[in-house]
Structure 1
């Protein structure tokens, strides 16, 4: 997908915005006990804090580790592009979810002496939502947006059957 550092920054910003915003809405809903329209506005207040944390973690640490883990799962030279995307996404979720849950526990949960237990519980509650959001909704949406911001040259474009 991204071909240079600028594109990596843009891709990461878009992914962080959608994933962090979605996960904040999910966590506020868990805390409140019901879904209300006000949650969508409230989430922007936390996004200002959690967005930069997620960007720094993903851009400087997790993306490199996820790529390395994914390259152990599939052979990037010989695999179908979908297998590569899936492997990178799964590795990214496995790394980002505990890290972001740690940040959320530290900043918003007032866990006190039960910090480890609350962090593990937060990670366990967030993981299924992060997994399905990334693989089914946010990941495809962000790749769609990214492809329209940075269309590939005609000669390099893949056909639908290749993906």
Structure 2
């Protein structure tokens, strides 16, 4: 886990990048009816827009709330670190998925229109399983591994 503000910023940037890339590709693939090589190229058009949105939401709102919920349930010194990691991850998905789905609905799916709420709800429902799967089984372990290796290379504890 990050130990300083700088580490927290770096960790959040890494996590946001891995999560946003995957979720953009997933949503484009859904819209196109399947995954193709063009999905990855199209994702680069949305990435510069969605990354800052995700960073601000995660760093300023969702991350602190997820940690507050987690540390209200688990004592950092006594709880198994796996439970703390899982709790923060699950709380993050629980809060970020509807927020990022709303941002995508506004920015890429017609914005403010009469069907906006329905589109946002459908997008959120479709995104939850992928976001949870990707966070718990891919992004979380990969980012924690990369972050840990970076901190070890710098001689810091992450």
TM-based fold match above 0.5: yes
RMSD: 1.7
Conserved 8 A contact 1:74-1:87: no
Which residue in 2 is equivalent to 1:6?
6
Q: How does 1:1-150 map to 2 (within 5 A)?
A: 1-110=1-110, 112-150=113-151
Preserved contact between residue 73 and residue 87 of structure 1 (Cα < 8 Å): no
The CA deviation at 1:74 is 2.5
Give the Cα separation in 1 of the matches to 2:5 and 2:102.
Answer: 28
Q: Which runs of 5+ in 2 are unaligned?
A: none
| 4+ residue segments displaced more than 2 Å | 72-77
**Inter-CA distance 16–153: structure 2 relative to 1 (3 Å threshold):** closer
Q: Deviations over 1:90-114 (max 9, x none)?
A: 0011010010000000111115101
> Matched residues in 1 for 2:140 and 2:27: separation?
19
Aligned length: 156
The unaligned stretches of length 5 or more in structure 1 are: 158-163
